[in-house]
Chains A and B, each alone.
Chain A
Amino acid sequence: MNTTTAPTIAPRRRRRLELNASLVVGVVLTIGFLVIAIVSFFWLPSNPNIPNIKNRMLPPGTVDHWLGTDGLGRDIIAQLMVGARTSILVGAGGATISLILGTVAGLVAAAYGKIADETISRGADIMLSIPGMVTALVLAATMGSGALTTIFALTAFFTPSFTRVIRSAAMSVLQEDFITSAKLYGRGKLFILARHVIPNIAGVMIVQFTLYFAAGILTEAGLSYLGVGVTRPSISWGMMLNEAQQTVGISSPLAMWPGLAIVIVVLGLNLLGDGLRDVLDPKLKRRS
């Protein structure tokens, strides 16, 4: 009957890709990291899990083992490459699930009335008061260690803060005039959220995801170091550091490589997140 539809009211934010140093370095490091992880499925210098005692503790620079071997003769580079997979799996896994849960919770808190808001916000605050490491330890105890448990722990860790971020971003978008127009046109809440709010907070979501991905990698490394994260035959950089610490009296390079890997990857992701934030932020932070 009514053939006219409401015009697209929400101004689309166009992303001008301004080059800034943070962004560039972040992209390079992140892509490098992803590439290495992918390559690891197709090619490894040698088996990272089979001990080869004849070759134990070879120094870096040895032919076939450019970064050397560990206490059981396993190639370091191979272990690092497989470890990259774990970091992505767990880090991105935790960040993704938190993103989904946090977005739902944040949007509900922002758009469905005071009671929902109070409950969700208070709940998030309480969960934030519980130290993540402790929760992770307890979860590992009750659910056993492994990648899945770690992902679960990360999710528990990140969802509350994700919720707060989304809630606050969504609330400022909901105050904009074009939302009122949409309501006047009779658009339902779900429609407004999906069509108008989410596209406008997409930038925030991307930035936070990147930063939590980085934090997830750090946390997973810590848990694996403690022995409650990933265990052999899976490989994690944190786990490598735990093993390295035991041989530290004899050879210190072993303690360097996994740590460096962690620093470089986390740094890259953080720089990427910050760079993205600089690009997207001026458009997101519109005060009505």
Chain B
Amino acid sequence: MTTSAKPHAIEVKDLVVSNGDVTAVRGVSFTIPQGGRMGLVGESGSGKSMTALALMGLLPMGWSTHGSILHDGVDLVTQSDKALSSRRGRTLSMVFQDPLSSLNPVRRVGDQISSVIRRHTGADRKTAEAQTIELIKQMNLPRPEQLVRAYPHEISGGQRQRIMIAMALACYPQLIIADEPTTALDVTVQKQVLRLLNGAVRDRGSALLMITHDLPIIAAMCDTVAVMYAGRIVEIGPVQEVFRNPRHHYTRGLLDSQPTMDNIALDGSSRLVSIPGMVPPLHSLPTGCAFNPRCPAATDKCRETMPELGTDGISAACWHPIHLAGEVAAQ
């Protein structure tokens, strides 16, 4: 191992997350460079949240991690909870989906932010409070001096999420993981919060792992995208490439099923395309490629052998990927 600073914010290799009965993440690998932005796309049950929790070391009781997660010079999988906790909030942080349940209801929001600062920088009370107010200002929140003394239930959802973001960014982490950060918010507020997150991450030079099922968000904020299905990454590559020319049939299906101004006729004459079938439950996955029952191009090979992702950073795990020039073999 070279002794210079790690070139990547995080490097995940063959990550497997299982609780003995069910394997939620079945061999995931990706790399996010310093300051890079990656989106992790998938529906519920794809394993994207479990991946995020595994990176942070916050899996629920009974779940264990295998593989390697290289970050800040160590392999996180081998670290004790104590060692991990010194990194959480400092070099590696997370923004959760529901800010109301994720914030301590009996503590003022300002205290929650300053305690993060004091924990990792050893700053005294006054300094931490001043930095907290600064942070709140950066989050474009009104009346920071009053907000600092508010309780989570007294402020709006959008404000709460910004507080969570402030907590995650307070110590200038190398990597921020955002797990569906705006799904629980009103639509009108979502854009504001995302724009804020975007700017704050950029200003700090942090890397971002954005987890969502919402494709336009990824398109707007990320450089690369990884598409997850049934616990594995089925396609990975630069955002523009993957979204314009998807190679995996699942990615194609996802893109086609997005409602756009083109495919919604206001007279009700058009219909949204959807992927036939349903996401399989993790305890009874099909053999071979997990997507094969729903795939228009599936063959016997697909049902027998699991396709692997290539290693060059832009590929699809598919025996019959969609060719760039032509159409998929019609079913």
Query: Is A in direct contact with B (CB under 8 Å) within the complex?
Result: no
